[in-house]
Amino acid sequence: MIYAIGMNTLWKDIRYKLLQSGSKLGILIFINVIVFLSINIPAVIDQLFNGFGNSAITALANNYLALPSYLPRLLTRFWTPFTYMFMHAGIFHILFNMLWLYWIGQIFEEYLGNKRTVTLYLLGGLAGALFFVASYNLLPAFNTSGLLLGSTVVGASACVMAIVVATATLLPDYTLYLMLIGPVKLKWLAVFFVVLDFLTVTGANAGGEIAHLGGALMGFVYIKQLKRGHDWGKPLSNIFASKIKVIPGGMTEGGKNSPRQEEVDRILDKISLSGYDSLNKQEKEILFRASRNDS
């Protein structure tokens, strides 16, 4: 009975955070899951009736939605830098990507608001696509081995890496409690993932690891630029402006009682150095009001 009540409470909490809190994580997770099910449910039925092995439906989806490394093919599949980031190669692939997106994405939205999540997700995916295509066409290990012609990549991992590294760049000393490991600071978690991806770029999933590194770099640069007042999300979204500009009369474009940009920048720098817990009550209130104005 206690277990049932606990699971019911957990489900209500997750449902609220994904569907009613204004979080964009629910939208991203929903799209990923729908795409995965739309491809794999028909693929399983196809194999049950036509024999096990590679499904024609899976092959068709990979042909038109996966990101190819070969440039002439990419030109005829110009939409794939976007579609590949919502596809996955298997159940565990999508499961772990969505779990990390949910866990770290909540922290990201808590401190930067929910308007930037989709922007960084897309930018991370595009950076991963760029790294993958460029590496396979420019590095001899790939373009002289025959891998260039038939290689493709799928998955939201580059997008998730962008959010993980961005959050770690903003809040390096934020502590997570991992099962069997204990407390781990976000900066060390991000470093672990980046080093692991780099050390495995010569393995079986070389394209995927390279894409991860592209997403990680985007997450790092995105936060550095955001703290300087440059919002790279404006070309993708016009729903907010990250830099609050001062106008005559001591007010800001955010409206009455909006905090000045200098105050916000100072607080973000303090979080980067000492963590969110180092802020006093007034600084937390300023950050909250700035987040409300951005939203």
Q: Give pLDDT, residue 252.
A: 37
Q: Give pLDDT, residue 113.
A: 83
Q: Encode the chain in three state secondary structure.
A: CHHHHHHHHHHHHHHHHHHHCCCCHHHHHHHHHHHHHHHHHHHHHHHHHHCCCCCHHHHHHHHHHCEECCHHHHHCCCCHHHHHHHCCCCHHHHHHHHHHHHHHHHHHHHHHCCCCHHHHHHHHHHHHHHHHHHHHHHCHHHHCCCHHHHCEECCCHHHHHHHHHHHHHHCCCCEEEECCCEEEEHHHHHHHHHHHHHHCCCCCCHHHHHHHHHHHHHHHHHHHHHHCCCCCCCCCCCCCCCCCCEECCCEECCECCCCCHHHHHHHHHHHHHHCHHHCCHHHHHHHHHHHHHHC
Domain end call among 194, 227, 260: 227
Average pLDDT in the 209-222 region? 96
Q: Give pLDDT, residue 294.
A: 53
190 and 279 in a single domain? The answer is no
218 and 257 in a single domain? The answer is no
Q: Is residue 239 part of a domain?
A: no
Residue bearing the bigger pLDDT, 5 or 85? 85
Residue bearing the bigger pLDDT, 43 or 1? 43
Q: Does the structure show a pLDDT above 60 at 250? A: no
Q: Is residue 233 part of a domain?
A: no
120 and 181 in a single domain? The answer is yes
Q: Is residue 237 part of a domain?
A: no
Q: What are 83-139's pLDDT values in tens digits? A: 999 999 999 999 999 999 999 999 999 888 888 899 999 999 999 999 999 999 999
Q: Is residue 234 part of a domain?
A: no
CA atoms lying within 13 Å on the CB side of residue 134:
10
Q: Which of 102-111, 156-165, 178-187, 255-264 is modeled with the greatest confidence? A: 156-165
Domain end call among 227, 255, 280: 227
Residue bearing the bigger pLDDT, 22 or 197? 197
216 and 250 in a single domain? The answer is no
139 and 266 in a single domain? The answer is no
Residue type, 73: R
Q: Is residue 97 part of a domain?
A: yes
Q: Is residue 232 part of a domain?
A: no
56 and 156 in a single domain? The answer is yes
Q: Is residue 240 part of a domain?
A: no
Tokens linked to 214: 């592209």
32 and 133 in a single domain? The answer is yes
Taking alpha carbons only, the member of 192, 198, 194 closest to residue 218 is: 194
Q: Does the structure show a pLDDT above 70 at 17? A: no
Q: Is residue 238 part of a domain?
A: no
141 and 40 in a single domain? The answer is yes
254 and 168 in a single domain? The answer is no
| Overall number of domains in the chain | 2
Q: Give pLDDT, residue 180.
A: 82
* Band of residue 230 on the pLDDT scale cut at 50, 70, 90: confident
Domain end call among 227, 257, 281: 227
Q: Give pLDDT, residue 150.
A: 83
Looking at the chain, the whole-number percentage of residues with pLDDT higher than 90 is: 54
Q: Give pLDDT, residue 121.
A: 96
| The total number of residues written for the chain in this structure | 295
137 and 259 in a single domain? The answer is no
Residues 259, 292 contacting (CB under 8 angstroms):
no
Tokens linked to 12: 């209500």
Domain range holding 267? Answer: 246-294
158 and 283 in a single domain? The answer is no
CATH classification of the domain holding 207: 1.20.1540.10
29 and 155 in a single domain? The answer is yes
